[in-house]
């Protein structure tokens, strides 16, 4: 099992310049590698693989000495990203890979950090090859010996580091004293089988007014001007604040649920298909259902709790007694004519999810 710790970096002006230089060179390599693949396929019908492009790196460094400023593993990871993008496209999981602009390529990765003693030479610092020893705000302890990957990412004017750490799997608890089913929604973020509800914060909706103003100002600025760059940073900051608020909310709610229950049951949602509904896409993305389920999953595994996903079919159209109770999204109250149950539809769905999970677990 791997978990990721995120800390903020405080590079010196020289280090920040080198980090930006690394991003720029990696972006150029990514675009060159993509162009090479397309040219070879369109003109010769030949497929260029990751291994072929990786083997060409030494010759590329001789032809373009600037690439010697970037660590070799960072360049290899750049080519691996492109290959992964093509593989996802061939599997039908994503669209066709695009060329990366300076605003779209914002991170680089050390897939093998090397000697940990050198990487974390001092408390509160990290050694990045070709960049140097950079200060970082270590607000949580982590096992430095088990570090498997280091990713450096630029968020506007901030630099963050994502440290992946391998931790042993916790044995799942055999006794289940408390179980809960969770039905995610839009009117309320989540309804639990114990009849409690979590309000939907709607961070993006609340920030839309500020975003509209910032984007209007951006659209009026002259292209390639400094004022446009400033306006672009303001738009990015607003989006980053929304993302951080949502992430903080999801982490707190998932931690609270995992700490209070031994078995957590959710639906198997296909969010990618659900966001195709143009009327609900923005609200679904703002809620962050996929991240919430991911956080529940790894937190449950980390704390030795059971996490069960059940098929989503029929959870909102059936009753606890098994009767079919069809209803549209506009109908918010569940009324069963067979057993006479009258209750909030989301709470009933959460109870059905728990009911199915207990059968699977048994």
| Catalytically active residues, by annotation | 183, 267, 346
Strands 197-198 and 342-344: unpaired
Q: Return the CA Rg of the chain.
A: 24
Residue 238: CB atoms within 10 Å: 18
Residue 70: CB atoms within 10 Å: 23
Residue 174: CB atoms within 10 Å: 7
């Amino acid at each position: 099992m791997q978990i990721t710790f995120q800390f903020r970096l405080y590079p010196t002006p020289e280090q920040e310049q080198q980090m930006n230089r690394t991003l720029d060179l990696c972006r150029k390599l990514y675009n060159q590698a993509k162009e090479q693949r397309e040219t070879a396929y369109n003109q010769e019908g030949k497929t260029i693989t990751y291994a072929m492009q990786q083997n060409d790196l030494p010759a590329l460094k001789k032809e373009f000495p600037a690439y010697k400023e970037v660590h070799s593993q960072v360049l290899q990871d750049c080519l691996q990203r492109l290959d992964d993008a093509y593989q996802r496209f061939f599997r039908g999981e994503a669209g066709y890979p695009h060329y990366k602009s300076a605003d779209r390529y914002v991170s680089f990765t050390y897939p093998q950090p090397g000697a940990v003693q050198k990487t974390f030479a001092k408390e509160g610092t990290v050694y990045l090859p070709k960049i140097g020893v950079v200060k970082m705000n270590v607000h949580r302890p982590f096992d430095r010996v088990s570090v498997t990957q280091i990713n450096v990412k630029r968020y506007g004017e901030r630099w963050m580091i994502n440290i992946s750490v391998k931790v042993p799997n916790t044995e799942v608890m055999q006794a289940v004293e408390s179980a809960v089913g969770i039905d995610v929604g839009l009117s309320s973020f989540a309804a639990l089988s114990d009849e409690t509800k979590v309000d939907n914060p709607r961070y993006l909706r609340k920030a839309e007014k500020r975003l509209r103003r910032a984007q209007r100002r951006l659209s009026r600025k002259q292209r390639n001007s400094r004022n446009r760059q400033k306006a672009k940073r303001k738009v990015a900051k607003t989006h980053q604040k929304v993302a951080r608020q949502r992430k903080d909310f999801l982490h707190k709610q998932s931690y609270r649920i995992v700490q209070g229950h031994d078995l957590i049951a959710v639906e198997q949602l296909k969010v990618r298909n659900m966001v195709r509904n143009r009327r609900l896409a923005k609200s679904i993305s703002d809620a962050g259902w996929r991240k919430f389920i991911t956080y529940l999953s790894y937190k449950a595994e980390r704390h030795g709790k059971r996490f069960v996903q059940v098929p989503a079919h029929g959870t909102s159209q059936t009753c606890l007694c098994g009767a079919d109770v069809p209803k549209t999204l506009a109908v918010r109250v569940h009324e069963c004519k067979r057993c006479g149950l009258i209750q909030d539809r989301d709470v009933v769905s959460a109870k059905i999810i728990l009911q199915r999970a207990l059968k699977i677990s048994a």
